[in-house]
Amino acid sequence: MSDAIDLMVSERDAGQRLDAFVSRAAGMSRARAARLIADGALLVDDSPASKSLRLEPGMRVHVPGDEPAAEGLEPEDLPVRVVYQDDALLVLSKPAGLVVHPAPGHPAGTLANALVRLGGAGGDPGRPGIVHRLDAGTSGLMIVARSEEAFAVLATAMAAREISRTYLALVEGQPDTDTLTIDAPIGRSPRHRKKMAVVAGGKEALTRVTVLERHPRTALVEAKPHTGRTHQIRVHLAAAGHPVVGDAVYGRDRKLAGALGLERPFLHAARLSFSHPMTGAVIELEDPLPADLDAVLARARAD
């Protein structure tokens, strides 16, 4: 696994697309470069940027170290429930606490290890078949390709916002209205570089929120991200004044989660709707709240 590197943009490199520049200068595939950009892991002058960014002389591009290749991943039998499967793809229910892919501090025991056994394929070899990711503390539905062809179609559909994702979240306080649209750009926080925030000049981000239930100190909401920014739902709800209960990074009321017996963010990927990459048939799937969140919701209603 190679170390992280910083690349300086020269006069000769000016005008190139970011993904093309990184692919050539860092000696990686264009797909790998695009994946790093989509995940916000590749930084230009310390801020995430789009793959179509045209480079200017003097820019500094930070490229993180490579992830383990798929052949270095050991297959593991982990508690991942398969909701749907065929020759082209899998849809999994990821449990909270399961890291998606190996990283410093998590060399094994990740979803990627489970996918070696389950037959994920396509895209970055360190993330076999993973079309989109969920934070470690988030549970729910994820799409995984089982071939390069299926991955290419699904990744394109995700980028074109043709895959509908719906999350359930318990939030602090009471939104003023039953529906709200949060249209605010997201980028790296200027104060805390490991956090995301609503910032001027950030990437376009849009989330639609519907209040389903109102409780004494919380509300159950449905959140539909129309873009796929890092921590998007958590950042947008916090910016709206109603962060996800149990979110240690973006939350405000540190005691509320403890009072409700919640040990992780109350955020669950509950529904998916997309076209099958090979047949075009519409696939719609639901995943009920896991037992821990269901119990917390019952307590919130009675609080």
Catalytic residues: 135
Q: What are phi and psi of 273, to 5 degrees?
A: -140, 125
CB of 116 closer than 8 Å to CB of 128 = yes
